[in-house]
Amino acid sequence: MKEKEIKFPSRKSKKWKSSEKQLFFMAMLGIIYVLVFAYAPMFGIVLAFKDPDYPSINILQTLLYAPWAGFRNFTNFFTDPEFSKVIWNTLGLNVLQLLINFPAPIIFAILLSEVQSKKFRKIIQTITYFPYFLSWVVFGGIILILLENNGVINNILQALHFINEPINFGEAQYFWGTIIITSLIKGLGWGAIIYIAAIAGIDPQLYEAARMDGANRWHRIIHITIPSIAPTIVLFFILSLSGILNNGFDHIYTFQNAINLDKSEVLDTFIYRNGIVNQQYAYTTAVGLFKSIVAIILLVAGNKICKKITGNGVI
């Protein structure tokens, strides 16, 4: 009977273990960051159930000593005179952006992938990527200058005889259009990156086989490109759907003014005005918790629907 050979750990395995320690240490830094800046603030959720009328100097005092108020903060929000306006503006803007700005990067990525000239493609990508790296304060400031009564946009429209008098783009009727267009310009190039990468990963032999079978460019896009990037599209659609109550505070606040407040007041700015400005911390915490609950429901529901229709999902 042969004796079993005893194997000792090699130097390579020792090196691998040391590298594992390094990876574990790097992962721990990320975990600590998430625990401190994502999970620790969650203890503040209890503010949503505290008495909003409790006289306190700061948030901590309200958190520790204010009596429990049950669901009164939620009731106050649902019965607030501005509730319907805020919800309508929030949903209206986000649904329009989902219908217009969500498919735009997909279409742009597909069209860009069909461009044969690499030099021209790089130029287009650079031009469309650049606005994303500007903050909304800077980018919005530039847009506001262009939209002034004596700005470039009004001058061009008057020169082309589309309008007789300058348009005041700061009025409420133009706010939604301004938000959607500026969001599209700023996020088009950056939003297309992941789709361009997904298209680049498609097997070229599929296109060659389709070309040999007589498929034109349109047929190749419909039957090869879109089905191949469908999982990526579904993933980002579900994530966009879950964020349907998030408009982006900095974007909205940059273009908001007293004239367009009826059309520009969304949940993000509503929370800012009542929470930061008016110091109604318990009340606005309840509003924020309401947003989070809706986001989770939409995430789960959207994931189930997309799984049934396409077979792809996030969870």
Q: What pLDDT was estimated at residue 9?
A: 53
Please give the pLDDT value at position 56. Answer: 72
Cβ contacts of 304 within 8 Å, gap of 6 or more: 313
* Cα–Cα distance, 267 to 284 (Å, whole number): 10
247 class by beta-carbon count within 10 Å (0-12 exposed, 13-18 middle, 19+ buried):
buried
CATH of domain 72-310: 1.10.3720.10
Tens-digit pLDDT profile for residues 11-35: 555 555 666 777 888 888 889 998 9
- Name 46's Cβ contacts closer than 8 Å, sequence gap at least 6: 63
Q: CA 92, CA 85: separation in Å to the nearest integer?
A: 10
For 41-84, the pLDDT digits (tens) are: 888 888 889 888 877 767 777 788 888 888 999 999 999 999 99
CB neighbour class for 5 (10 Å; exposed up to 12, middle 13-18, buried from 19): exposed
What residues form DSSP beta bridges with 50? 68
Task: Report which of 90, 51, 48 is spatially closest to residue 247, judged by C-alpha positions.
Answer: 90
List the chain domain ranges: 72-310
